[in-house]
A and B are shown apart, each in its own frame.
Chain A
């Protein structure tokens, strides 16, 4: 195990120099916890993280970023409903407009970020308390059901990845008609493998919008990006499976730039 580097060396130039030009915003709300982890994951994947502030009312508040990550945490202490207050932040209006625009800004919501995306109606359904009522924190295997989104194109369809799952309100719910539409249109992006950790309808861990630019999921890919600080995968090796999210969006952005 001594050859396993515990901390990635961020000192050198990124391996994929052409990707480093892509700038990915990470939004911080009051109560956000995982913004720095998300920024680190973006950097490790070869992108440039840009810190964005929820209350920024400047017309250029998005700082011209090429994509946005809404990271995990407990914005506003989960008061009212998880993500319910954050979704009315001034910056969220700009993100919703950009995601729905012709430019189709890629947006990834992780955990609380996913909850904010459903409250903002960028993604359907909602999250309620885990069916077993306990906070859960574990390594979780997911199956990539849709690898045609901005955030999953570097995975194989059906690929199983192991990342961290940690939440209290993680039970994905929607009415049967919405669930049937999501299934029929291939918009279930991730499903839990092995068991259902929170009672989510149809084992859904994450979904995408129809255009594939907005993706939300409860588990945390940004916590599985470097050896030594990652879950152990099925093969007993440290999982850096989460890097694929950030590599995917960088790959798409570079493709568009060509």
Chain B
């Protein structure tokens, strides 16, 4: 079953409190190489049958209207994963 992956990230200018907490905790476990963390979301939309252009367009629309909030987030990736 093919899936459409949608990746959503907080906008660069929006402080990401969760990412900030994670980057603060990493050095405590010895992971000292990372100076920043931003946490986003990955959605996997399962499609019954082939992914047509129309279905991909639906996924893009869903990503913009519901899966992300354009005030605080960007849709950074929409792609098809073949099973």
Contacts and interface: CB of A to CB of B under 8 A. Distances in A.
Nearest to A121: B71
A240 interface: no
A84 B13 contact: no
A199 B14 CA distance: 12
A130 B71 CA distance: 17
Interface in A100-149: 118-119, 124-126, 128-133
Interface stretch (B15-23, B29-37, B50-58): B15-23
A7 interface: no
Given A80-B66, A84-B66, A88-B66, A171 B71 contact: no
A254 interface: no
Given A133-B17, A133-B18, A171-B17, A128 B72 contact: yes
A175 B72 CA distance: 9
Contacts of A173: 14, 71-72
B67 interface: yes
Most buried by A among B10, B14, B18, B69: B69
A129 B67 contact: no
A81 interface: yes
Contacts of B15: 128, 131, 199
A204 to B, nearest CB: 14
Interface in A9-37: none
Nearest to B15: A131
Interface residues of B, number: 12
B14 A129 contact: no
B12 to A, nearest CB: 12
B71 A174 contact: yes
A125 B66 CA distance: 16
Contact of B69 (A119, A129, A130, A132): A119
A129 B17 contact: yes
Contact of A130 (B14, B17, B67): B17
Given A80-B66, A84-B66, A88-B66, A131 B17 contact: yes
B21 A133 contact: yes
Nearest to B41: A80
Contacts of A128: 10, 14-15, 17, 72
Contacts of B71: 118, 124-126, 173-175
Interface centre among B14, B18, B71 (most CB of A within 10 A): B71
Contacts of A119: 69
Nearest to A119: B69
Interface of B: 10, 13-15, 17-18, 21, 66-67, 69, 71-72
18 contacts: A80-B66, A80-B67, A81-B69, A84-B69, A125-B71, A126-B71, A126-B72, A128-B14, A128-B17, A129-B17, A133-B17, A133-B18, A171-B17, A173-B14, A173-B71, A173-B72, A174-B71, A199-B17
